[in-house]
Structure 1
């Protein structure tokens, strides 16, 4: 296991201090070059900025996770102000998107304010020429595509994506990236996605500290898991492991511009 990897999507700020210290200490042991640490809100963003200042391998992104109550105007302005003040130091805008699971719990939830907020983040990504990290799955992915296409914006990363074949084809046509989590080892839906999606538009992630099942059950979600994800991708694609490792690494460097 000498190939280098990058975790394209992790919530490093959400780990306990002890777990975070362990992960950072072990990055070099497991040949992990960078962690793209996404933010859920302004407080989360401040923590990620602090972590990035302490360790240059942490690459912060600032956004507002959609699976929560919308921010009030003051909170939103704090978030946009953080992005503006740290625009030279952040790697991307994210995590942003649409509240798929919230709407499953409450079908009466008004989607329009979330759509408006997503559009604001797309406008910001266009203005700052920053990559956009999206939480938009199943039918929400098409709504996100509508917004992205309206702005002719292509530097979009749909993390842990799930969706229909027509949506997948639309995203491929637009050259949008996806990233695969360790659940690819045991989820047939994700393995099918790997078959359909071009390797040149793929990255790998953990979305930690989100826990996984199968061989990872009851295990701390650690970027080292990505090595096993790459093995699965190489098997599904029928490609040499070294080639897949190299391509995924280069994809991530190219997308985030490191």
Structure 2
């Protein structure tokens, strides 16, 4: 094992006992840090409290798109919180568009995403994105509109044309443990440059295959890296080194 960073985890959604267990095991499994993304204001508050207890928890504040839009008051409160604590966060996230939720119109979600992109520009922060399949090109257009280069599409799925555009723009993607058993994800991994790749768990989201029945843990990333090395026909040590350096530089973690 070599040092790893989980670039996308909902650490606030684990129980206190689970959080404590993971934190105790981080050194053993060479887990350098976890980027805990937020889903709303209460999630952001919980993540901030986790960071204040242990700075290996890195912060991303945002509003997950797979939920009803916030009211004007809720959004104002979230932005006020982010403004007060933006120096503590490494990114804005999780933000994006609601692919899985049946919504009549994307108009409100696009307006919300633009607000977060404006903040990303204002504070010079990367964005951690929930944008897959046909939503991805829409988000790419917005990224280009605001000249945002530090974009991270987490657990990405999409077509070849979109992937090519993302590579050309220098956007990053990250792979979860489902790389071990999902052919669609393996195909993306085979073509996406290692220089634009990171790894995540999206925990506590559960996985199948060799991880069936296991509570999602950042240590699973080691297995993801081994599968990625096989897919890329690259020595596993080089994959560890590349992914770690990618993450340190992208998220400015030192």
* TM-score (normalizing by structure 1): 0.97
Q: Distance in 2 between matches of 1:180 and 1:197?
A: 11
**C-alpha distance in structure 2 between counterparts of 1:181 and 1:139, whole Å:** 20
Q: Aligned equivalents of 2:5 and 2:24: distance in 1?
A: 15
Match of 1:78 in 2: 77
1:169 maps to which of 160, 164, 167: 164
What does residue 254 of structure 1 align with? 249
- The list of structure 1 runs, each at least 4 consecutive aligned residues, that deviate by more than 6 angstroms after superposition, is none
Please say if 1:5 is aligned against 2:28: no
The aligned counterpart of 2:121 is 126
Counterpart of 1:68 in structure 2 is 67
Secondary structure class of the residue paired with 1:91: strand
Q: Which runs of 5+ in 1 are unaligned?
A: none
Q: Which residue of 1 aligns with 2:58?
A: 59
Return the offset for 1:152: 1.3
Number of aligned residues: 253
**In 2, Cα distance between equivalents of 1:77 and 1:150:** 23
SS in 2 for 1:113: helix
Q: What is the CA-CA distance between 1:151 and the residue it aligns to?
A: 1.1
Instruction: State the partner residue of 2:39.
Output: 40
Using the TM superposition, give the Cα deviation of residue 84 of structure 1 relative to its aligned residue in structure 2, in angstroms. 0.3
Measure, in 2, the Cα distance between the counterparts of 1:11 and 1:19.
12
In 2, distance between residues paired with 1:158 and 1:78?
26
The residue correspondences of 1:178-193 to structure 2 (distance < 5 A) are 178-193=173-188
Partner of 1:98: 97
- Looking at structure 1, the residues matched to 46 and 150 of structure 2 have their Cα atoms a distance apart, in angstroms, of 25
Match of 2:145 in 1: 150
SS of 2:101's equivalent in the other structure is: helix
Determine the C-alpha separation between the residues in 1 that align with 2:55 and 2:17: 19
Match of 2:216 in 1: 221
- CA deviation after TM superposition for structure 1 residue 196, in Å: 1.1
Structure 2 residue runs of 5 or longer lacking an equivalent are: none
Q: Deviations over 1:83-110 (max 9, x none)?
A: 100011011000000000003xx5xx21
Q: Please state whether the residue corresponding to 1:179 is helix, strand or coil.
A: strand
Compute the displacement of 1:22 (Å): 0.6
Deviation string for 1:58-113 (max 9, x for gaps)? 0011000000000001110111011100011011000000000003xx5xx21100
Alignment partner of 1:212 is 2:207: yes
Equivalent-residue separation in structure 2 for 1:179 and 1:144 (angstroms): 17
